[in-house]
Amino acid sequence: MKDQAYWNLRLAIQGCLPMNKFCVLAFLLISLSGCNMVTNVEENIAKVPQVNLGNLEISDDEIFDAFSTRRGGVTIAVSSFEDLSGSRTEGGASTSVAGSGMLLLEYLLRQHAAPTTFRVFSRKLLNELVNERRLAAQLNAAYAEQQMSSLSSNMQSLLGDSLKNTKPLVSFPEIIPVNYLVTGAVIGYDKNILDLGAGAGSLGINNRYQQSTDSVTVMVQLINVATAEIIGVGVDSETIESNLYDAGVFKLLKVDQILELEGGGSLNEPKTYALYVALDRAVKNMLRDAI
């Protein structure tokens, strides 16, 4: 935060060279007070008691291997992921959170997949997969009928039902059922949990800085298919910062000449990446809870 105050002061000095030392001092005091507010908020957040998920001695990098080892091999699939936050974008009907949670969950699990100990399966396109297998069965039946009709009646009567065992054109192995399902949701999107600002101006020259912070919270559950028991739950959240910078000059150069300059910009952290980070930590908490 001290670095942020330094750059705000430097912006004020560069953009407001004619300002007197009292104005610069006032801007510095405002910026430092804003930094103190952020520090106080962060200290209060740090004082919130953390939930003990157990097995904290297992690092995040080892949690997937530890879970699959203790469970004796894992086949897993994501069954659903919803947005239950109810948060909408300002002035629009679209949601504040991206609808890619299920794909992100599958991606996170796939990053730790192993051929023998941790296998990830898709359930999003299960109906489509079943339909493709039905098409294959119809094709094989038509092929067997064609082979039957190409033979003479005597040969058909001789072979009988044995011709039905003709090698099919398309052969699929059975779809493997998984022993664990993952379901989850965005359970909250809180806007403006932190809203700060600072500004200074003198003799027609002004600078302004504003910061706001949102928070996205996700929850995931691990379900044992054999018993339908929820064996692991993970919850985590990630903040999303938005920063606004603005500066302007309004001066009377001569009686008939006025100088007016404005500039500024905004820097917003991506919401999709925040969702990904929160999901990553929530999945690891879920597996740690299930061990």
Which three-class secondary structure state does DSSP give residue 276?
A: helix
Same domain, 93 and 115: yes
Q: pLDDT tens for residues 154-205? A: 666 666 665 556 677 888 888 889 999 999 999 999 988 888 888 888 888 8
Q: pLDDT band at 25, cuts 50/70/90? A: very low
Gap between the Cα atoms of 123 and 178, Å rounded = 10
Gap between the Cα atoms of 31 and 9, Å rounded = 8
Same domain, 114 and 133: no
**Considering its fold, how many domains does the chain have in total?**
2
Overall average pLDDT of the 85-97 stretch? 78
**Tokens representing residue 51 in the block:** 């939930």
Same domain, 118 and 133: no
Tell me, yes or no, if the pTM score tops 0.85.
no
pLDDT score at 99: 83
Using the CB atoms, write b or e for 225-254: b if 16+ within 10 Å.
eeeeeebbbbbbbbbbeebebebbbeeeee
Same domain, 140 and 210: no
| In-domain check, residue 247 | yes
Q: From the CB of residue 207, how many other CB atoms can be counted at a distance below 10 Å?
A: 24
Say which range, 50-59, 194-203, 211-220, 255-264, has the weakest mean pLDDT: 50-59
pLDDT score at 259: 83
Q: pLDDT band at 252, cuts 50/70/90? A: confident
More confident: 131 or 30: 131
Place of tokens 């079943």: 130
| Residue 30 in this model has a pLDDT that exceeds 70 | no
Same domain, 148 and 196: no
pLDDT score at 230: 95
pLDDT score at 77: 94
| In-domain check, residue 170 | no
Overall average pLDDT of the 46-73 stretch? 68
| Residue 20 in this model has a pLDDT that exceeds 70 | no
| Residue 37 in this model has a pLDDT that exceeds 60 | no
What's the one-letter identity of residue 198?
A
Place of tokens 């302004």: 208
Q: From the CB of residue 117, how many other CB atoms can be counted at a distance below 10 Å?
A: 16
Q: Beta partners for 69?
A: none
Share of the chain above pLDDT 70, in %: 74
Same domain, 211 and 265: yes
The enclosing domain of 88 has a CATH number of: 3.40.50.10610
Torsion sign over Cα 138, 140, 144, 147: positive
Same domain, 47 and 26: yes
Angle at 70 between CA 69 and CA 71, to 5 degrees: 90
Same domain, 161 and 188: no
| Residue 269 in this model has a pLDDT that exceeds 70 | yes
Gap between the Cα atoms of 139 and 128, Å rounded = 17
**Tokens representing residue 213 in the block:** 């912070």
Same domain, 109 and 138: no
DSSP annotation of 179: S
Residue 214 domain boundaries: 2-123+178-290
pLDDT score at 89: 79
